[in-house]
Chain A
Amino acid sequence: MNAVVTQTGMTEAERRKAAQLERIWREPPGFIGWFKAVHHTTIGKRYAITAFIFFLIAGLLAGMMRLQLAFPEAHILSNDQYNQFFTMHGTTMMFLFAVPMMFEALSVYFVPLMVGTRNIAFPRLNAYSYYLYLFGGIMLYVAFLCNTGADRGWFSYVTLAGPDFGPGKRPDFWAQLITFTEVSALAVAVEIVVTVFRLRAPGMSLNRIPIFVWGELVVAFMVIFSLPGVVLSSTMLLLDRTCGTQFFNPAAGGDVLLFQHLFWWFGHPEVYLIFLPGTAIVSTIVTTFSRRHVFGYLVLVLALVATGFMAFGLWVHHMFATGIPQIAESYFTAASMMIAIPTGAQIFCWIATMATGKVVLKTPLWWVLGFFFTFILGGMTGIFVASVPVDLQVHDTYFVVAHFHYVLIGGAVFPLFGALTYWFPKLTGKMMSEMLGQVTFWLFFVGFNITFFPMHVVGIRGMPRRVYTYPAGMGWTTLNQIESLGYILLFVSVSLFLWNVFRSFRAGEPAGPNPWRAGTLEWATSSPPPCYNFLHLPTVNGREALWDAAPNQPVVVGLDEDTRSFLTTRTLDAEPDSKEEFPAPTFWPLLAALATTAAFIGSIFTPWGITIGAIPIAVTLIGWFWPVKQAAERRRAREIWQTE
């Protein structure tokens, strides 16, 4: 455990090295510097805070919906408002909270730390992706405040969202939001793949990569393969609406089901994009709080990869009610049930880990236990919706609403709160209050079940989804009122969590580098990590780098200390490969993101938006990639040195 490097007890040489690294790596200071930042911890934190704000906003929208549904035939929201609210809730939760939080925020912040490098690959692209995500979200909400909130559901099926039945610009803003968030997610996916494949610490061969990193890697690949589907469908929708193309016009040979296939080709893997990072968090927390190496590492990794593959084979189960040929029905039913096998394997491995370890029941682990109770229930109801005949009854009812809230809140939000509590000391250097944390958990757990469990019943009793109200006397009223009361607990719980964050941030106990005595590399540096991440770049001797470190675990030496230099390693065995150099902080990603934003928003109003908007984008990209003479010379020198 001697690879742990702390700020205290440094030798004079180390202190000099730290000062030198600080000078090279620090983010530009001041207000202006804020816009130039490219370090992954800075961008990761921004992602997390922005995504959490969107989570709170979407949660408040849900509160208004629960208020409206607490009474039959209520007029608290008009139908027009309710349709915008539920669409904004779904769109925000899926595109502005879940994926950016579970994938972008967590992986951007933690993957480089966990693989032991100084920054994420392509740091400027990373800054660009954050700005695009932020501007897309702001655009959607400015539109919402202008009474142009998307109102055709988070899926925006044609022809309802098409030009004839979706007047105005509401679906266009929805379609462009998709473009924003997808470009941003694709950029991060590329960064993560490259970071994991080429930037790992020496010794971290494929079979020693932390499970969390495996999870985010699988998700990154899924992003690359699934998002083009939704980019296509939303762009085709936008073209239909603004340029008069006929992709989805049934009378002109267009096809309304084409949209659904493209959308769910993305939309089903989307669920796994959100929940695989959740399982990766669970693996991490279970390992640390069971005080042993995770049981069945290989099974867990294979399960992640298998889920990643299978996720692409079940999109049609969202479309069973459209009337699918029987052979296809059978295939998609079987595939949908099959995915329970890798998920089951993961669950059994976690239980086995705890059953054979020493379980320390602190707040992060409480959230994980909450995950077991809720997510497994969600998985069980998933078998109902996987079966074609049963799905024909429960599809598009509140049963499905209950199912996916159990899967997504259970599978992603519970682990997320666990992760936030677990990594809060790393992010801020302070511990969160254990007592407040457990109260928050119990309020959330109880509130969640009160809110969402009755939805199963109400759905089986025939209440469809996406209705802005319902008649009295259907047997739905009482249950809806119970659900709405549950929301109050959730509200209190999340408020308490925010208070805990605020209080701990100001006056929490100092955490030290490794408060949980965990084994992964992010705990090998001070909390919060310095701008250069590690004073000595670590090497790895086992799956849990800190637990398995040899008594004299070597560190990486020989990197230039006067540039942003880093080491690349080989994909399979993580043998050192070459020295490379990260680019410096700059304005260009911000400017490029602004130009892209102008083009995307412009294309909502005129087909010329992209054509004209491409010019400023090209200009900013040229500025971005304009070669810096010294860096080019250094690269040439490195190449000569390496070939010799």
Chain B
Amino acid sequence: MRLRLLACAVLVLLAIPGCKREQRVFDPGAAKSQVANGVALTDVHAGGGTAPPSPAKYQESAYAVSEGKRLYNAYNCSGCHAHGGGAIGPALMDAEWIYGSRPDQIYSDIVQGRPNGMPSFSGKIPDYQVWELVAYVRSMSGQLPTDVAPSRSDEMPVAKAEQARKKEHPEDESQQKVAQP
């Protein structure tokens, strides 16, 4: 009996990382606190609402990160930031962060926009997709666990797979630098 309990406990313990990594939330629901859309305007939604998972969940779900990767190209982030190496916009795969490297800071960058060309996507990208993009952007500099970060893409190889990248260490994880004009 003890043996069986132990076995169950081991299974549950094993299940925790697996569940998080493999979680696939298809219907994030229409939550009221969608910052990206400004204030909540209405309760009109179909299919019933469930609370969206906390932003940290996106960083732990391989599915969310792969969605982020898809959206990064679909929404043409690559048009300015290339595949992380930077072009018109700054590089995203290094340790240099003008406005900070924390998830909430990257989130604000996307939603609010930044001077010198970064547009605001407020209202254009649903909240949960912004978080998926944030998770993917962080994977570009090796901030996510390797079993969550994406592998190589089905396209022309341009850089190491995100999961194979060295983890960069941004100098100021906590304080925002002021942009130099």
Contacts and interface: CB of A to CB of B under 8 A. Distances in A.
B164 interface: yes
Interface stretch (A162-170, A286-294, A515-523): A162-170
Interface in A237-260: 240-246, 249-252
Contacts of A163: 150-154, 161
A252 B18 CA distance: 31
Interface in B133-181: 146-147, 150-157, 160-161, 163-164
Contacts of B22: 146-148, 168-170
Residue from A169, A244, A606 whose CB has the most chain B CB atoms within 10 Å: A244
Contacts of A148: 18, 21-22
A169 B148 CA distance: 8
A170 B23 CA distance: 11
B157 A147 contact: no
B18 A147 contact: yes
Nearest to A241: B151
B19 A244 contact: no
Contacts, number: 82
Contacts of A245: 152
Interface stretch (B51-59, B62-70, B89-97): B62-70
Contact of A244 (B21, B63, B151, B155): B151
A294 B126 CA distance: 72
Contact of A159 (B17, B154, B160): B154
A605 interface: yes
A559 B18 CA distance: 55
B23 A167 contact: no
A319 to B, nearest CB: 20
A557 interface: no
B11 interface: yes
A231 B164 CA distance: 24
B161 A244 contact: yes
A240 B153 CA distance: 10
Given A605-B146, A605-B147, A169 B21 contact: yes
Nearest to B16: A146
Contacts of A240: 151-152
Nearest to A246: B157
A147 B146 contact: no
Contacts of B161: 163, 244
Contacts of B11: 142, 145
A143 interface: yes
B24 interface: yes
Nearest to B164: A244
Contact of A249 (B147, B150, B154): B154
Interface in B105-139: none
Contacts of A165: 154
B88 interface: no
B14 interface: yes
Contacts of A606: 146
Nearest to A158: B154
B35 interface: no
Contact of B152 (A168, A169, A244): A244
B63 A146 contact: no
20 contacts: A80-B24, A145-B11, A146-B18, A146-B19, A147-B22, A147-B23, A162-B154, A163-B152, A163-B153, A163-B154, A164-B150, A164-B153, A168-B147, A169-B21, A169-B147, A240-B152, A244-B152, A244-B164, A246-B157, A249-B155
Interface of A: 80, 142-143, 145-148, 159, 162-165, 167-170, 240-246, 249-252, 605-606
